[in-house]
Amino acid sequence: MNEMTFPTKVDAWLVLAAAGGIAAALAGAVAALETNPIESLIGFGVTAFMVLLVFLVGVPCEYTLADDHLLIRSGVVRWRIPYADITDVAPSRSLWAAPAMSLTRAKVSYRGRFQLVSPAERERFIDELRARVARAKTTA
């Protein structure tokens, strides 16, 4: 089987929300620079922490269909789900927190749990994942 990697779909509102929060923290730090240097320093620290957090948990965000498992990567966090453990794959628009940058998602159910992902090519991802799960179940 070929390994396939699907990047996450990114909703513009999510980028704007993250950028807006970072911009607000930075603006507050700059505004306090002359009148309250300690407060400004804290503001710059908060801004740096927010940027670091976005990159630690969100960049890159991708989903790889490997030979025998689905690999979900979101920043430094990784989930490895064997195809044989997957019980269902279905479209979703759930608001649950997930390694996804869009609300156009797929719900991957496995071992009594689930993971939400948001591949840019959701239908293709679902079709390919279902086919790999079916193959894993027939060879097991």
Residue 140 has pLDDT above 70, yes or no: no
Same domain, 44 and 97: no
The residue segments making up the domain with residue 29 are: 12-57
Same domain, 51 and 36: yes
Same domain, 53 and 116: no
pTM assigned to the model: 0.85
Same domain, 116 and 79: yes
Same domain, 47 and 67: no
Mean pLDDT of 84-109: 94
Same domain, 39 and 94: no
- DSSP lists the bridge partners of residue 79 as 72
Same domain, 45 and 79: no
Same domain, 102 and 127: yes
- Tell me the per-residue pLDDT of 45-76, one tens digit each, with 9 for 90 and over: 999 999 999 889 889 999 999 999 999 999 99
- Distance separating alpha carbons of residues 55 and 68, to the nearest angstrom: 28
Q: Give the total number of structural domains in the chain.
A: 2
Cα dihedral angle (107, 108, 110, 113), rounded to 10 degrees? -40
DSSP classification of residue 83: G
Which whole-number Å values give the CA distances from 113 to 23, 79, 86, in the listed order?
36, 12, 10
Same domain, 106 and 77: yes
Q: In what order do the strands lie in the sheet with 77-82?
A: 4-7, 61-65, 69-74, 77-82
Q: Please count the CA atoms within 13 angstroms of the CA of 92 that sit on its side-chain side.
A: 22
Mean pLDDT of 87-95: 95
Task: Give residue 55's pLDDT.
Answer: 87
Same domain, 98 and 82: yes
Same domain, 53 and 67: no
